[in-house]
Structure 1
Amino acid sequence: MDVVFVEDYEAMSRRAAEIVAGQIRQKPDSVLGLATGSTPLGLYHLLCRWYAAGRLDFSAVTTFNLDEYIGLSPTHPQSYHAFMQKHLFSKVNLCPVRCFLPDGMAGDVLAEAGRYDARIEAAGGIDLQVLGIGRNGHIGFNEPDDHFAVRTHRAYLSDDTIKANARFFPRLADVPREAISVGMGAIMKAQRVVLLASGPDKAEAVHRAVCGVVTPRVPASILQLHRAATVLVDADAAALVPEKWRHAGRIHIG
């Protein structure tokens, strides 16, 4: 795991966008794993801007999103289908038939999870996986647990995650309690992983994921074992990381 410290959200987003753009230029038919939430918005904005300027071509790219709420249709404004359509898919030349998200309306969640894993495997796995990190250390909807979930699965959202996501819904009661989430297997098999962390509310999670032991109680800590994981951390999110590390600008763990 490489941990890279940057000044602020804008610098983090630009560094992440450069990594993703470099992946696409090096391998035009890349398979990208994508995340949702507030953190990657700056990354997506830059990718869209560079596409509009003729600097990127997404026509051969395949994407797999990490998760989707159970019970929300693709047209629901708070679904991750709608999020991706709004912030990336509608603004670049991705081929719609190669943009995959779990089906939150699937009648058989277990079967849908199996189909999703099979699609990822059929595509050759993830070349570059983009991740955010939850306040409790979750990645995707892999919540703190007694074990790491390996396969795509039905995820039960923690109270912390539900409260954090409440800002996107009219009422706390409207936040879905379950989701379909890619497991740690596909994430850890990705050729490269880039995790983004920004803001003071992520400082404890970053500290535990980067400085602590590898444990399913802090799901992001497993990235310490990944052969090519880069964690981009802004100053606020790095507040609890030892000062000598932050001054170094970049550290390697593992």
Structure 2
Amino acid sequence: MIAKFTNYQELSAFGADKIIQLVQQKPDAVLCLAGGDTPALTYDRVVAKAQEAGVDFSGVIFIGLDEWVGIQPATPGSCYHFLQQKIFGPLHIQKDKIYFFDAMANDLKAECNRIDLAIEQHGGLDLALVGIGMNGHIGFNEPGVDAALNAHVVELDEVTTAVGQKYFTSGAALAKGITLGMTQIMSAREVVLVASGPKKAAIIREAIQGRITNTIPASLLMAHPRVSILLDAAAAAELD
């Protein structure tokens, strides 16, 4: 499903409703939520709706999508810090319900294995909400990724490291990422991709209307049986 919205606010409200409805139907849902600018308002709406309607998130399992290697989780700009501010803190999520990469770990392979196991033990992802990078990446699955990988460590594309600086108040050393693999994202029972703003219009056109290829990882989602692509008018501007 490709859904076009007049503005970012409408897109965010729709995305929030999807999460709320899932948790109402399945209180122990397994959610994978991306960090970043685009889903920020969606999460604000989730918190507001949960509080207004008394939706209980205490049984929900949260799986981290990705993290910058070498960045402390408490650092503003880290993926964990973003979700702590937006979701985990406001909804009072207990730490034993959160499975997030420790990007400061000495053994990053063991971290990948730990997250792989957590997903397996909890029966897979019910919903993955992801953004799209300027180069078409999903999580830190960069152009050319092996689509058969589970969680893995990756050398970040220069586009990703350049864009990523906006999340940090001072220059951060961004060279590697740790991320769920496309196999895990594609195995989610539902995937929601959100994109907003004119800067995303060209890559959205390539991902949706171009051929399915690992050089544009987001295009792989076109083969998912239950993918919803939520676009505001600016992000959808170059679609036929």
5 Å matches for 1:67-78?
Answer: 67-78=66-77
The answer to whether the 8 A contact 1:78-1:169 is kept is yes
Percent identity between matched residues is: 37
Structure 1 residue ranges (4+ consecutive) displaced by more than 4 angstroms after TM superposition: none
Distance 1:136 1:17, change over 3 A: same
| Alpha-carbon shift at residue 146 of structure 1 (Å) | 5.7
| Alpha-carbon shift at residue 236 of structure 1 (Å) | 0.5
5 Å matches for 1:170-249?
Answer: 170-172=169-171, 174-242=172-240
Aligned twin of 1:118:
117
Unaligned runs of 5+ in 1: 243-254
Cα distance in 2 between the residues matched to 1:71 and 1:149: 25
Cα distance in 2 between the residues matched to 1:143 and 1:230: 21
Secondary structure of 1:194's match? strand
Cα distance in 2 between the residues matched to 1:12 and 1:32: 19
Aligned-CA RMSD value:
1.3
The answer to whether the 8 A contact 1:57-1:93 is kept is no
5 Å matches for 1:57-72?
Answer: 57-72=56-71
Cα distance in 2 between the residues matched to 1:205 and 1:175: 26
For the pair 1:45 / 2:15, whether they are aligned, the reply is: no
Aligned twin of 1:139:
138
Aligned twin of 2:19:
20
Aligned twin of 1:252:
none
Aligned residue type for 2:238: L
- Deviations along 1:88-144, one digit per CA (max 9) or x if unpaired, are 111013222111111101111112111211111111100011000011110101010
| Alpha-carbon shift at residue 55 of structure 1 (Å) | 3.4
Q: TM-score, normalised by structure 1?
A: 0.91
Cα distance in 2 between the residues matched to 1:93 and 1:146: 35
For the pair 1:151 / 2:150, whether they are aligned, the reply is: yes
For the pair 1:34 / 2:61, whether they are aligned, the reply is: no
Cα distance in 1 between the residues matched to 2:145 and 2:94: 39
The answer to whether the 8 A contact 2:6-2:232 is kept is yes
User: Between Structure 1 and Structure 2, how many residues are aligned?
Assistant: 240
Secondary structure of 1:53's match? helix
Q: TM-score, normalised by structure 2?
A: 0.96
Secondary structure of 2:191's match? strand
